[in-house]
Amino acid sequence: MDKMLKQYLDRAKEIIGERTAGEIAHDNAVVDALNSGLPIDAALSLAGQHHPNEAIQWDSSNINDIAAHYDYLKTHEQIVKKLRMKNRN
């Protein structure tokens, strides 16, 4: 299982990439907004208001790719939380 976990985390790091503290804060704000039920465009707007230096520009040609990225981040966050809880036991 540890080998599979390491492979998952390595792959997640490749997908997510290197991020600054500001980018992480912005991404977390988008994920939080999505988790509260906002659609992706509203979540991006809200996060952009709180983190204007990290705000993402989107339009109809790229919103689906952006939404897919944040869906991945949402799922990744849930997996990491479950792993942390499991490791506490």
pLDDT, mean of each 10-residue run, the chain (89 residues): 83 92 97 97 97 95 97 93 78
How many CB atoms lie under 10 A from the CB of residue 85? 9
Q: What is the DSSP letter of 56?
A: P
Query: In the prediction, which pLDDT does 89 show?
Result: 64
Give the whole-angstrom CA distance, residue 81 versus residue 25: 17
Q: Is the dihedral of CA 48, 54, 55, 58 positive or negative?
A: negative
Cβ pair 43, 56 in contact under 8 A: no
Query: In the prediction, which pLDDT does 59 show?
Result: 95
Residue found under tokens 């979540």: 43
